[in-house]
Amino acid sequence: GAVVSQHPSRVICKSGTSVKIECRSLDFQATTMFWYRQFPKQSLMLMATSNEGSKATYEQGVEKDKFLINHASLTLSTLTVTSAHPEDSSFYICSARDWTGRFGPDTQYFGPGTRLTVL
């Protein structure tokens, strides 16, 4: 149980294009999903909290217009990196909480991540 998928797993794009990353909870409903960014050899940095049916909550320093988040259903959240630039190249990983899981309502289950390379 508590499986989270993420698509695509890897994307290479040209500078100036927009990239959409999907995060899906496969066997549970997730009212709250999270988006993280991870630089090489570093820990995860929370970018935003995505709430189903409402606006995302962004962490300080994260550009809302740059990283658009939509949580249209209980199983899907999307992150769109708009007008991507080389400095946006990173590993992006999403997570979701399974409120009905046996490991506590605050346990987050992660997708496999998306490696974005902007040329």
Partner 1 sequence: AQKITQTQPGMFVQEKEAVTLDCTYDTSDPSYGLFWYKQPSSGEMIFLIYQGSYDQQNATEGRYSLNFQKARKSANLVISASQLGDSAMYFCAMSPNRDDKIIFGKGTRLHILP
Q: What is the DSSP letter of 59?
A: P
Its sign, for the CA torsion 6, 8, 9, 15, is negative
Site for partner 1 in 9-48 (CB under 8 A): 32, 34, 38, 42-44, 46
Closest C-alpha to 100, from 22, 25, 35: 25
What is the nearest approach in angstroms of partner 1 to the Cβ of residue 108? 6
| Cα 114 from Cα 22, distance rounded (Å) | 9
Q: Is 107 in the site for partner 1 (CB under 8 A)?
A: yes
42 vs 83, beta carbon nearer partner 1 = 42
How far is it, in rounded angstroms, from Cα 112 to Cα 103? Answer: 20
Which of 79, 109, 116, 118: binder of partner 1 (CB under 8 A)? 109
Cβ distance to partner 1 smaller for residue 14 or 102: 102
Binders of partner 1 in range 66-95 (CB under 8 A): 91, 93, 95
The helix (H) or strand (E) run that includes residue 115 is strand 114-118
Distance CA 59, CA 2 (A): 25
Q: How far is the CB of 21 from partner 1 (least distance, A)?
A: 14
Q: Give residues in contact with partner 1 (CB under 8 A).
A: 2, 32, 34, 38, 42-44, 46, 49, 91, 93, 95, 97, 103-113, 115
